[in-house]
Structure 1
Amino acid sequence: MHALNPQAKPVSLAERLADLAVDALIDEADLSPKPALVDRRGNGAHTDLHLGLMHASALALWPAFKAMAEAATEAGTIDLALRETVGRIGREGEQAMLATTGGVNTHRGAIWALGLLVTAAALAPESSGSGAVALRAARLALLEDRHAPRPLSHGAQVALRYGARGAREEAQLGFPAVTGRGLPQLERSRAAGHGEQNARLDALLAIMTGLADTCVLYRAGEPGLHAMQRGARAVLDGGGSASLAGRRHLQALDRQLIALNASPGGAADLLAATLLLDRIGHGGILQGAY
């Protein structure tokens, strides 16, 4: 494994993409202070998660991400066979995650989102712009995996109940929360000199302003979702996480979401997807790979 070894020899494209995916998950987990989410301060609104568990889960997914990228390279095209292969690998990755975490769902949504993006990037590494990768991922997500289990996840049940767009639909539309809000805000905050950690926090908040986060809906219903969206907008309107006013709003949002038991896990998964696409789009896909 090369994810944490900067002295490793040149790696394959599949290994490089797996490294980038794991790094994105770890960077998302470490980012602080995230409202009601696990970070370096503590467990947020969760009782069954902690930072070490998030790290272990991310590392356990490296083989699955590598296998997805390899399957894409071998297939060379978007078709049903590749979609079903990636689905099978994703389910195997989920079992590896659950074995590592003792049955706790740490990254189920992230396996779907980052797995599709890793596959899409591997299909055409010469076309690594965020829009192009997201579009290929969407084309893959639109194909029906005939072998996927039929019971609805919590997120899918909530999406149906509230008419929200779940993780499946977000991917099928080309990750608009990432390409339309997360990545643009990341670049704006960087350009404003806010620093990388604040830029990433602002990207998370931008995603939260418009996302019907099914994790929040499941835990806290529409009041929790409205609190998340309004609170995230207040932080950005106050100058973002790099400003004193923005930080005060961020602290208030954290307290409010914890009181509501509302953890924006869907937004966190999409932040990881944002960080992955950002690295791929800035040439990270081929750096050190053969």
Structure 2
Amino acid sequence: MRSTEDEALAWAAVDALTGQLALTPKPGLPDPRDLGAPADRRDHRSLRWTAKALAPGLAAMAAAARRTGDATPGLRAELGAIGRCTEHSVRLAGGGHRGALWVLGLLVAATALAPVADAGEATATARRIAAHTDRAAPRRPSRGSAVSVRYGAAGARGEAGAGFPHVRRALAALAAARAAGATEAQARLDALLTVMSTLQDTELLHGAGPLGLRQVQAGARRVLAAGGTATQAGAAALAALDADLHARAWSPRGSAGLLAGALYLDALPISDTARARTA
């Protein structure tokens, strides 16, 4: 049986995902501007709607972690089974969010296992869960795993296996931008661009190839080098990158999912015990 705490973690994750979706302007990614474009309207509205379909599965993942009590192979197998059922439910609702489900599912399970942990400990716990093999996973490789093998990119599994380094970088970028006086939207955009600047995004590799990936990474670095989105030069560089990615139909979806993971951890209250360890 799921507890109130499990439901709260699940909805915190859904709120983080919808917060990522509401952010604008996101280069190459669906955002509220799509509501004014008839050709794209279903895309953004559907993604906001189907984000809610993740909640039951995420709550079940939290409950499984709380019941198991440790990052065991059995927990990894149960999370995989819940994840596949959740993917099916999301497809019925309209589709999307597969990458975000992988990130948020592991982080929700990790925070259910260790509710007093800080972000660094949560990602380390997620790494221990992801280190186990899900033997019931389909044998057929996914598009992301096929791209990872072809280009030698870490991919979603590699990111989890390393303890979500880009989630941690996004959290650091959020804190730095806020400390510098950026608005919350600007801080979140800077966090997204920080991820985009170095992530080997398999979605981009699939659609744009290695040269396209490097072009997107360089564009994100230009925004950050100009002072970030809070500066006039940075905002202009962001607008140029956004126009270029939309014109080429290149979408850094992997970066979006990792930003959602960072926003989830950022929103969780840090206990007095964890705060004392990081003071």
State TM-score, norm by structure 2: 0.92
Q: How does 1:52-63 map to 2 (within 5 A)?
A: 52-63=45-56
Tell me whether 1:95 sits opposite 2:74 in the alignment: no
Tell me whether 1:111 sits opposite 2:87 in the alignment: no
Q: Aligned residue for 1:279?
A: 267
Q: Aligned residue for 2:127?
A: 138
Large movers: runs of 4+ above 3 Å: 46-49
- How far residue 50 of structure 1 moved from its aligned partner, in angstroms, is 2.0
For the residues of structure 2 that align with 1:126 and 1:22, how far apart are their CA atoms?
20
Q: Which has the larger helix fraction?
A: 2
Q: Aligned residue for 2:73?
A: 80
For the residues of structure 1 that align with 2:214 and 2:247, how far apart are their CA atoms?
14
Gaps of 5+ in 2: 272-279
- How far residue 201 of structure 1 moved from its aligned partner, in angstroms, is 0.2
Within the candidate set 4, 8, 12, 1:12 is matched to: 4
Letter of the aligned partner of 2:102 in structure 1?
W
Contact 1:224 1:260 in 2 (8 A): no
For the residues of structure 2 that align with 1:16 and 1:281, how far apart are their CA atoms?
12
Q: Aligned residue for 2:110?
A: 120
Q: Aligned residue for 2:33?
A: 41
- How far residue 279 of structure 1 moved from its aligned partner, in angstroms, is 1.4
Q: Aligned residue for 1:221?
A: 209
- Of all paired residues, the percent bearing the same amino acid is 46
Letter of the aligned partner of 1:266 in structure 2?
G
Within the candidate set 138, 148, 166, 1:149 is matched to: 138
Q: Aligned residue for 1:255?
A: 243
For the residues of structure 1 that align with 2:243 and 2:228, how far apart are their CA atoms?
17
Contact 1:90 1:111 in 2 (8 A): yes
- How far residue 221 of structure 1 moved from its aligned partner, in angstroms, is 0.7
Contact 1:205 1:236 in 2 (8 A): yes
Deviations 1:129-160 (A, max 9, x none): 01100000000001001100121111111111
- How far residue 49 of structure 1 moved from its aligned partner, in angstroms, is 5.6
- How far residue 47 of structure 1 moved from its aligned partner, in angstroms, is 5.8
Q: Aligned residue for 1:70?
A: 63
- How far residue 244 of structure 1 moved from its aligned partner, in angstroms, is 1.1
Question: What secondary structure, in the 3-state scheme, does the structure 2 residue paired with 1:146 have?
Answer: coil
- How far residue 72 of structure 1 moved from its aligned partner, in angstroms, is 0.7
Contact 1:224 1:257 in 2 (8 A): no
Contact 1:227 1:257 in 2 (8 A): no
Contact 2:61 2:79 in 1 (8 A): yes
For the residues of structure 2 that align with 1:161 and 1:47, how far apart are their CA atoms?
31
- How far residue 281 of structure 1 moved from its aligned partner, in angstroms, is 5.3
Letter of the aligned partner of 1:185 in structure 2?
A
- How far residue 39 of structure 1 moved from its aligned partner, in angstroms, is 0.2
Gaps of 5+ in 1: 1-10, 284-290
For the residues of structure 1 that align with 2:88 and 2:209, how far apart are their CA atoms?
29
Contact 1:130 1:281 in 2 (8 A): no
For the residues of structure 2 that align with 1:107 and 1:220, how far apart are their CA atoms?
20
For the residues of structure 2 that align with 1:164 and 1:80, how far apart are their CA atoms?
25
Alignment length (residue pairs): 267
Q: Aligned residue for 1:21?
A: 13
